[in-house]
Amino acid sequence: MKILITNDDGVTADGILCLARFLSKEHEVTVVAPETEQSAVGHAITIRFPLWLRKVDIKEPFEIYSVSGTPADCVKIGIDVVLNEKPDLVISGINRGNNLGTDVIYSGTVSGALEGAIAGIPSIAISSYDFKNPMYETAARFILKFLKEFDVNSIPRFSALNINVPSIPYEKLRGWKLTKQSKRMYEDYFEKRVDPSGSDYYWMKGNIVENDPDPKADYKVLKENFVSVTPISLFMTNEKYLSKLEEMYSENKIVW
């Protein structure tokens, strides 16, 4: 397959290079990624500033390009300028740290994959669970095998797969399970600090809350040494609530 790879950790991050090296053994790989870290930028795109695209001179069996923008920018310019055609697959990652629950809203990694989905290309986001000790080779070996057994063309347009891989040796993986985006979230708080000039500033921190009762919650299978594979979509309409509102505010009740 012809695969376009991006990330949000930066074009020379260990995770993206490990992924590209493994995939290039069996696929035609091109890396187009942000020149600097773009973690937690969500699905931002650059519309009021120019984008610089540069080929990175690193001895690898694939081409690498840096972009002065976001992961979504990278996918757009990767398709339209670098490749000048749609690849067979877009993969975003391997991210340093997990993308679970509400992380999906903020994640540049996930947004890179969803940008591919917008373009009508099968797309996958992949993350290594442990931020402090990511095991990129485990995730890379997994995705190489996964692509042999999973039909990526079954992924509908406007959808992508969000994959999280435990940070354990590959041999200890128990397989993969289909999961749901959990209600895992953070209790945010701000730590007040003082800069050298005496002015106050704040650093956002947070405690993880994992209390989702659903047995298919994404974070639960990771703790059992399974890979979490979650189908996600761009569209966020709450269908149940919409139906309820339609009952409450049917046409004969609306006064405008």
Indicate the pairing of strand 2-6 with strand 28-34: parallel
Residue 252's pLDDT is: 58
| 95 annotated among ligand-binding-site residues | yes
Strands 89-96 and 2-6: parallel
CA–CA distance, 153 with 23 (Å, rounded to integer):
18
Confidence (pLDDT) at 132: 94
pLDDT at 141: 98
pLDDT of residue 198: 95
For the chain, the maximum distance between any two Cα atoms, rounded to a whole number of angstroms, is 69
Rg of the Cα atoms in the chain: 20
Tell whether 233 is in a known binding site.
Answer: no
**pTM of the predicted model as reported, rounded to 2 decimal places:** 0.94
Strand partners, 189: 205
Burial class for 167, CB neighbours closer than 10 Å (0-12, 13-18, 19+): buried
Q: Can you read off the two tokens belonging to residue 174?
A: 């128990």
> 139, 93 in Cβ contact below 8 A?
yes
66: phi then psi, degrees, rounded to nearest 5: -105, 150
Contact yes or no for 33/16 (Cβ under 8 A) = yes
Residue partners of 231: CB distance under 8 A and separation at least 6? 155, 159, 160, 161, 162, 178
Q: Which stretch of DSSP H or E encloses residue 92? A: strand 89-96
The fold for domain 2-183+214-253 equals Stationary-phase Survival Protein Sure Homolog; Chain: A, (3.40.1210)
Phi, psi of 99 (to 5 degrees): -130, 90
Residue entry with tokens 């992949």: 126
DSSP code at position 226: P
User: Is residue 8 marked as binding?
Assistant: yes
Q: What is the pLDDT of residues 83-115, one digit of tens each?
A: 999 999 999 999 999 999 999 999 999 999 999
What residues contact 57, with CB distance under 8 A and at least 6 apart? none
3-state secondary structure of 224: coil
Tens-level pLDDT at each residue, the chain (256 residues): 999 999 999 999 999 999 999 999 999 999 999 999 999 999 999 999 999 999 999 899 999 999 999 999 999 999 999 999 999 999 999 999 999 999 999 999 999 999 999 999 999 999 999 999 999 999 999 999 999 999 999 999 999 999 999 999 999 999 999 999 999 999 999 999 999 999 999 999 999 999 999 999 999 999 999 999 999 999 999 999 999 988 888 765 555 5
Distance of alpha carbon 178 from alpha carbon 184, whole angstroms: 17
Q: Give pLDDT, residue 247.
A: 87
pLDDT of residue 249: 84
Structural domain spans, the chain:
2-183+214-253
Q: What is the pLDDT of residue 254?
A: 55
Q: Can you state the angle between helices 136-149 and 14-23, rounded to 10 degrees? A: 40
Q: What is the per-residue pLDDT across 29-63, written as a single tens digit (0 to 9) for each?
A: 999 999 999 999 999 999 999 999 999 998 999 99
Spatial separation of the C-alpha atoms in residues 61 and 65, rounded to whole Å: 13
> What order do you get walking across the sheet with 159-165 strand by strand?
53-55, 63-67, 28-34, 2-6, 89-96, 123-128, 159-165, 227-233, 176-178
To the question of whether residue 162 is assigned a binding role by annotation, the answer is no
Separation in Å, CA 171 to CA 9, 17, 139, 167: 26, 21, 11, 11
